[in-house]
Chains A and B, each alone.
Chain A
Amino acid sequence: MSQIQIERDESTGAPSTMLLDPGRSEFAESLFRRGTLLAVLAAGALLILLFVVLVSQSWGVWTNYGIVRFLTTDTWAPNYVDPASGATSVRIGALPMVVGTVISALIGLIIAAPIGVLVAVFLVEFAPRRLALVLTFVVELIAAIPSVVIGIWGLYVFAQFSRDTVQWWLASTLGQVIPFLHEDPDSPSVFSVFTAGMVLAVMIVPMVVAISREVIRSVPMSLREAHLGIGATHWEVVRHVILPTARVGLLGGVMLAFGRAIGETIAVTMVIGNVDQVPTSVFEPGQSIASKIATNLGDVSDPLELSALLGLGVVLLFVSVGLSIVVRLGARRFAIARAGG
């Protein structure tokens, strides 16, 4: 325990006026205040720096290749050889990665959002207190698992399991009707956008649970009591009172989880298949923005390709920052609405 040392006047034993000396005290005060303020400014500078560095380092792809062309080209081949004429050209397109990112993140969300919200309902509304505490702890631990560990499990264990169970079942039922759920019957790929989505679901579920739990907890007790008082069952309270009241907050949590999913790198890189194509089915291998950067940045020498990889980073940065801003604005409106404004 640190103690406050008070300097004392030697002759009288009274507290030294040094401590209370306005000049010295004010100097220390302003030094401390400004020093710590500097760290807050550093956070702001860091955010600006992210944009400045990424945009300037990827300048080549925006100016020499063009934003629209970059985002709509479906091939990544710096030395593209036209199969008909044999002519070579540069084709660098972000479309396969953008599609792979969005589809895998959406699959993760479709699985994780309902399960996560339901678990949050269980934790807050149904579970005994001790069980809820233990479960909350375990779910927090899932969030703490390093993504490379989830990745190696996905790569060597889960991908095969998922292909032979969930994927096989989906492809042999819905896949017969919906082309996007069709699998190659002869050699279904172990690694696919779907596998990546499943792994992402595992990784974002703790986030959905954590945010949903806070949102559901913040629903006023009086609303619950009012409905229980007129004879509603627990589930009816959840269904007709809590979920509608918490709707905006739950949506915000799901959007933040989506942001987390699109930026997840290592685990996705290990299971998505790393093929730069726009998948025609979720059971085909693909590539996400983050996995493309992770697999290629290390061994690229072509300046345009390098700036294109950083350009992918810019896309990722804009989307994740945009999501944060939207959720934050939404949260503010939500708070105002709840306050009765």
Chain B
Amino acid sequence: MDDRVLSAGDLLLAPPTTIDLRRGLTDRFWKLLSLLAAIVVIAPLVAILFFVVARGLPTLTPQLVFNAAGNTTAPGALNAILGSLQMVPLALLIGGSLGLAGGIYMAEFAGPRVVAIGAFIVDVLLGVPSIIAGLLIYGTVVAYATGSSAIAGSLALAVIIFPIVMRATEEVLRLVPEAVREASLALGIPKWRTTISVVIPVARAGLLTGLMLAFARGFGETAPLLFTARGSNALNVGQLGDPMSALPLFVYQNSRVADDFFVGQAWSAAIVLLAIVLLVNIVVRGRSIGARVE
């Protein structure tokens, strides 16, 4: 009880009363319970990592990475890996550049009214479920232009990435000290040039963080691809008008086949997917955590 907080009893040098003891115990109880809550929250992460590795590792063979799917005897997820590596960067190109531009306007040019309205729009877009992004592209691009296609999948992912990058860009640019801008403007350098050559280089690391987290997010999304890219067993490289698979889509579709051969591949692909997504997150977030720990 040495860390018991000073109470009226101590001030009078009286021995602790039962009320004091109970308060101390209650304090300890809740501290312990909150620690337990933290452990409970982490437990699923440990369980997921453990089971994904335990179930997926036995079937994680080089074949899975080098073969395309569609073979009933040899595993293969190359079509899905290449699909993700095509659709996600394309989505990042579209959604990321829109997001960067929007974030730049919000942080550098917009007046208070536009900032308020813009932030509201981004808030709402961030809250829209990802399957709705898939429905939007399904009801437009898929229905009237391309049918199920990689480009439709990319656009659906871009709809998700756009507000994420826009919010990250705005927040990062606001962290750039005003003095940096003023120093540049004082040299007679126009605002747009100041933004491109001074503000953005200063904020470069933060902008990159936002883009990489958006990439990881897009890489792990399944729902928006279900009726847009739809998935395909064929090895599709560059045929953006045709259906295309992606790693999350591969995991989802194979996990639903009642056959150990396919379920095993789903677990193995889940290892690859989880490794890529967590690696990006650890590298990007770990750097900032490391800086704060020191």
A interface vs B, CB < 8 Å?
A: 1-4, 19-20, 25, 28-29, 31-33, 35-40, 42-44, 46-47, 49-50, 53-54, 56-57, 115-116, 118-119, 121-123, 126-127, 130, 133-142, 144-153, 155-158, 202, 205-206, 209, 228, 231-236, 238-239, 256, 259-260, 262-266, 270, 290, 293-294, 297-298, 310, 313, 316-317, 320-321, 323-325, 328
Residues of B close to A146: CB separation below 8 A: 219-222, 248, 273-274, 277
B3 CB to nearest chain A CB (Å): 10
B130 on the interface (CB 8 Å rule)?
yes
Identify 17 new A-B residue pairs, CB closer than 8 A, beyond the known A148-B220, A231-B8, A233-B27: A2-B197, A4-B184, A4-B193, A20-B188, A29-B190, A40-B110, A43-B163, A43-B166, A53-B135, A57-B143, A148-B248, A156-B263, A259-B127, A266-B252, A297-B138, A316-B131, A320-B128
Which of these, B41, B166, B256, B277, contacts A39 with CB under 8 Å? B166
Chain B, interface SS category:
helix
Category for how many chain B residues contact A: 35 or more
| Contact indicator A122/B38 (Cβ below 8 Å) | yes
| Contact indicator A135/B44 (Cβ below 8 Å) | no
Which of these, A47, A53, A135, contacts B121 with CB under 8 Å? A47
A164 CB to nearest chain B CB (Å): 15
What CA separation (Å) do A266 and B128 show in the bound complex?
15
Residues of B close to A118: CB separation below 8 A: 33-34, 37
| Contact indicator A145/B132 (Cβ below 8 Å) | no
* Chain B 94-130: CB-based contact to A (< 8 A → 1; otherwise 0): 0000111110111011100010011011111111111
Which of these, A39, A239, A265, A328, contacts B130 with CB under 8 Å? A265
B203 on the interface (CB 8 Å rule)?
no
Residues of B close to A265: CB separation below 8 A: 129-131, 222-223
Evaluate whether A4 and B125 lie within 8 angstroms (CB atoms) in the complex, with A235-B30, A297-B138 already known: no
| Contact indicator B132/A317 (Cβ below 8 Å) | yes
Count, A-B residue pairs, CB within 8 A:
290
B191 on the interface (CB 8 Å rule)?
yes
Which of these, B45, B105, B198, B255, contacts A145 with CB under 8 Å? B45
Binds A, one of B59-67, B69-77, B279-287: B279-287
* A-B contact list, 18 entries, CB within 8 Å: A3-B197, A28-B190, A36-B108, A40-B106, A43-B118, A46-B162, A54-B136, A130-B293, A135-B42, A136-B289, A139-B42, A142-B45, A144-B217, A144-B278, A149-B273, A231-B8, A266-B252, A290-B131
Listed residue (A54, A127, A152) with the most chain B CB atoms within 10 angstroms of its CB: A152
| Contact indicator A316/B37 (Cβ below 8 Å) | no
Residues of A close to B124: CB separation below 8 A: 47, 321, 324-325
Evaluate whether A133 and B221 lie within 8 angstroms (CB atoms) in the complex, with A144-B281, A148-B252 already known: no
Residues of A close to B270: CB separation below 8 A: 148-149, 152
Interface hits, B1-29 → A, CB 8 Å: 5-8, 23-24, 26-27, 29
A250 CB to nearest chain B CB (Å): 15
Listed residue (B40, B105, B184) with the most chain A CB atoms within 10 angstroms of its CB: B105
B interface vs A, CB < 8 Å?
A: 5-8, 23-24, 26-27, 29-31, 33-35, 37-38, 40-42, 44-45, 47-48, 51-52, 55, 98-102, 104-106, 108-110, 114, 117-118, 120-132, 135-136, 138-140, 143, 159, 162-163, 166, 184, 188-193, 195-198, 201, 216-217, 219-223, 226-227, 230, 248, 251-252, 255-256, 263, 266-267, 270, 273-274, 277-278, 281-282, 285-286, 289, 292-293
Which residue in chain B gives the minimum CB-CB distance to A319? B129
| Contact indicator B48/A153 (Cβ below 8 Å) | yes
Which of these, B6, B33, B98, B198, contacts A4 with CB under 8 Å? B198
What CA separation (Å) do A127 and B36 show in the bound complex?
12
Which residue in chain B gives the minimum CB-CB distance to A265? B223
| Contact indicator B255/A32 (Cβ below 8 Å) | no
Residues of B close to A31: CB separation below 8 A: 192
| Contact indicator B27/A235 (Cβ below 8 Å) | yes
Listed residue (B45, B108, B162, B281) with the most chain A CB atoms within 10 angstroms of its CB: B45
Which of these, B27, B33, B41, B230, contacts A205 with CB under 8 Å? B41
A312 CB to nearest chain B CB (Å): 9
A181 CB to nearest chain B CB (Å): 21
What CA separation (Å) do A121 and B292 show in the bound complex?
20
| Contact indicator A233/B136 (Cβ below 8 Å) | no
Evaluate whether A316 and B129 lie within 8 angstroms (CB atoms) in the complex, with A46-B162, A141-B281, A233-B24 already known: yes
Listed residue (A40, A53, A294) with the most chain B CB atoms within 10 angstroms of its CB: A40
| Contact indicator A28/B114 (Cβ below 8 Å) | no
Which of these, B47, B118, B132, B197, contacts A40 with CB under 8 Å? B118
| Contact indicator A50/B51 (Cβ below 8 Å) | no
